[in-house]
Structure 1
């Protein structure tokens, strides 16, 4: 099939920019209601985006009540509501392997898959925010190696549960009174280092067989998990060279274990700040930044693991201080993306803030400039598409769909109709 961009819209609170809640037209707490999510789903579905991707957080520490929590609602519940007002849009829920149990999560995601007619996906993450641990008991956050060891086993158990029903199990013969062929439903009988799960699952396969797996790790352990299990890899990349190297690495790892590299799609995050002219886009960015105060600076400090007072706007990042932080427990992907951008292009902190959209590639400009950047990365094998990190929701999503997608279609890079009825068929996964 013709290679085209995969585009998913990411829902992080009410927008990726820290000032989104102040800039949006709707009331401050309207995002807690069903109409907010239904409107996003309808917009993405009508635009033929591949999926709506909901982030998740399990603590309030990162946002500190200064703006809406980036994952306040349960993604699976919100996506189940969106399923009822959409027809072909994929529905991707983030859920942690650190603070869930495989059987319960496998059942919840499979339920969404059935309710949506085969459009569900699970974004596999390990929890790296220390504050979360206290919400689940007295034990501290596990070390990264332990988190990924648990994640590897967790994913294997979930997939075994999803595969515990053979398609041949479904009989449904009312006249003969045969509902299910019991011999085609088998327990998983898993006994591992972290989990003991008998199975089988309570649900048969969905129309797409099983939900699509997304994964967002950037460390060596995260990349290994992605190459072995993921259909789609979400990554934070700020430079073309960094994105090319990451995609090539994931594809080579997949090839080395016998997977078709083309079956693993790599999607960097992209934050577009749009204007009718470049000057208008810069003015929009400046207005948002003014409303946010020093929130983006503090977020950058958190992402690279240094005190905020160590960042001087008109000087480079303090690379020595960043490297010296051996106790860093945050996201390796976000830290690496910011550091590579600063090093490779010799940028000041102020310039990094302008380019680094919350850890992702940020393009401030016209729809044509955004489309050109997307085409350049796609043509040069840096990605298979993008996860769209919208600055302000819901209006920013509508603007992107109305202003950028037509240019991508003119370039032959994005579809006008869905490829199928399930998320897996639409991704060609």
Structure 2
């Protein structure tokens, strides 16, 4: 029996996941808009035999400007390169690395999505993946003629329909459809071309798709999010789940839930890879790893730090940063949905004697979800989660790029390989092969061929 291997993704959001990443001395300040930066990150990832890079994306500037001036200091999240264009370029400088990006079901038509990702899959010889999101930001909605996002139920109803239509379009052509016989003059077998004729509440799509299948049959489907509706979309259609679990207990609960949902949709356990986000600060010593974390923390502008408290408390910029939140403080504005969290955070900060500065450093640096240490320290945690079946692998959300990607390939991956947890060479050329997923089966192949045989 082949030993089960850990799967690894590298999330390459602009310049990294720490809010001060763009101020790091080793980070190219305009890298998020320069293709050479992304090529460098991708090459680090492929050198480490990483399964895939994952590009989070949004159709607008989503950050709020509270306190005033914080948006102008979060430069790394403001502009980047449209991800399918970006990944098409990366496909030309890599040979095995999977190429996955987000595209919203809220602001795209299924046919355009299906064609765009099928094109990327063909260009990369079977390494593309689509991350399904329903979009939550009002800032994005306003770019598409809406004043605010659709309500939860409608967003996920639309997302489910869109995903059904896209995956259906990808099955437009069965295996063997393209005869390409110059002598007979037959380019394709009409009996193996299928019109989808999808009709739902939100979309009506005829098909077929004017793009042929790649070596992996169709792009990998990824679903990101923890909502019940999102989990159902993932269990029904996805092959990879990108989730957020800060503790192994959370991860175990999530993993078990997804296995139950898979069974509900009649899918086998090996049809899905669950890969929670995992933030690493890796050093050759624990002291070096801690220094890497503290260096970035020291680069957080106070106005940016306060923006991480704004949703909970409102604008705190008028209060002394090196004193606790005053006992008589009352957050301004609408506190519905966050008042309990705000009260608990205030109570805990007073109990611990935390100042406002300490609070924002804790929130901005995501102290509760960081893993800081040597490669062996980090691998111990990952191995524990993996062997206890809390996940199938991890999506590494490194704090800054390209340095964080280099640390993964130079320090973490060799330690995982030494333990026999991670590959030393890619298993195949396609993303599906490298994730250890079963081959894609076109929805039309079995039934139609059996029917034709019986008629004959």
TM-score clears 0.5: yes
Equivalence for 2:264: 256
Distance 1:270 1:283, change over 3 A: same
SS at match of 1:150: helix
1:197 aligns with 2:198: no
Report 1:3-402 matches (<5 A). Answer: 3-62=4-63, 64-66=71-73, 67-69=75-77, 72-294=80-302, 297-298=305-306, 300-301=308-309, 307=314, 309=316, 326=336, 358=366, 361-402=369-410
Once residues 353 and 54 of structure 2 are traced to their aligned partners in structure 1, the CA distance between those partners, rounded to angstroms, is: 31
Taking structure 2 as the reference length, the TM-score comes to 0.83
**Are the counterparts in 2 of residues 109 and 120 from structure 1 also a CA contact under 8 Å?**
yes
Q: Which range moves more in the overlay, 258-267 or 102-111? A: 258-267
Pick the structure with greater CA Rg. Answer: 2
Shift of 1:8: 0.7
SS at match of 1:370: helix
Once residues 103 and 425 of structure 2 are traced to their aligned partners in structure 1, the CA distance between those partners, rounded to angstroms, is: 29
**CA RMSD, aligned part only?**
2.9
**Are the counterparts in 2 of residues 236 and 359 from structure 1 also a CA contact under 8 Å?**
no
Query: 1:80-133 CA distances to partner (integer Å, 9 max, x unpaired)?
Result: 001011111100011111111110011000000000000000011111111111
Q: Which range moves more in the overlay, 67-76 or 123-132? A: 67-76
Distance 1:230 1:68, change over 3 A: same
Equivalence for 1:331: none
Once residues 309 and 256 of structure 1 are traced to their aligned partners in structure 2, the CA distance between those partners, rounded to angstroms, is: 48
Shift of 1:31: 3.2
SS at match of 1:202: coil
Q: Which range moves more in the overlay, 65-74 or 119-128? A: 65-74
Shift of 1:180: 0.8
Distance 1:188 1:295, change over 3 A: farther
Shift of 1:165: 1.1
Query: 1:301-354 CA distances to partner (integer Å, 9 max, x unpaired)?
Result: 46x755364999979xxxxx9xx95568xxxxxx9xx99xx9xxx998958965
Equivalence for 2:420: 412
Structure 2, unpaired ranges of 5+: 65-70, 326-330, 438-456
Once residues 312 and 379 of structure 2 are traced to their aligned partners in structure 1, the CA distance between those partners, rounded to angstroms, is: 33
Distance 1:325 1:375, change over 3 A: farther
**Are the counterparts in 1 of residues 245 and 277 from structure 2 also a CA contact under 8 Å?**
yes
Equivalence for 2:445: none
Distance 1:417 1:122, change over 3 A: same
Once residues 91 and 168 of structure 1 are traced to their aligned partners in structure 2, the CA distance between those partners, rounded to angstroms, is: 26
- The total of aligned residue pairs comes to 409
Distance 1:61 1:351, change over 3 A: closer
Query: 1:349-406 CA distances to partner (integer Å, 9 max, x unpaired)?
Result: 9589659865983101122111111111111111110001111101110112101111
SS at match of 1:383: coil
Once residues 178 and 312 of structure 2 are traced to their aligned partners in structure 1, the CA distance between those partners, rounded to angstroms, is: 52
**Are the counterparts in 1 of residues 305 and 364 from structure 2 also a CA contact under 8 Å?**
no
Distance 1:400 1:111, change over 3 A: same
Once residues 299 and 262 of structure 1 are traced to their aligned partners in structure 2, the CA distance between those partners, rounded to angstroms, is: 42
**Are the counterparts in 2 of residues 14 and 70 from structure 1 also a CA contact under 8 Å?**
no
**Are the counterparts in 1 of residues 138 and 147 from structure 2 also a CA contact under 8 Å?**
no
Taking structure 1 as the reference length, the TM-score comes to 0.88
Once residues 392 and 375 of structure 2 are traced to their aligned partners in structure 1, the CA distance between those partners, rounded to angstroms, is: 20
Shift of 1:38: 1.4
Structure 1, unpaired ranges of 5+: 316-320, 329-334
**Are the counterparts in 1 of residues 32 and 79 from structure 2 also a CA contact under 8 Å?**
no
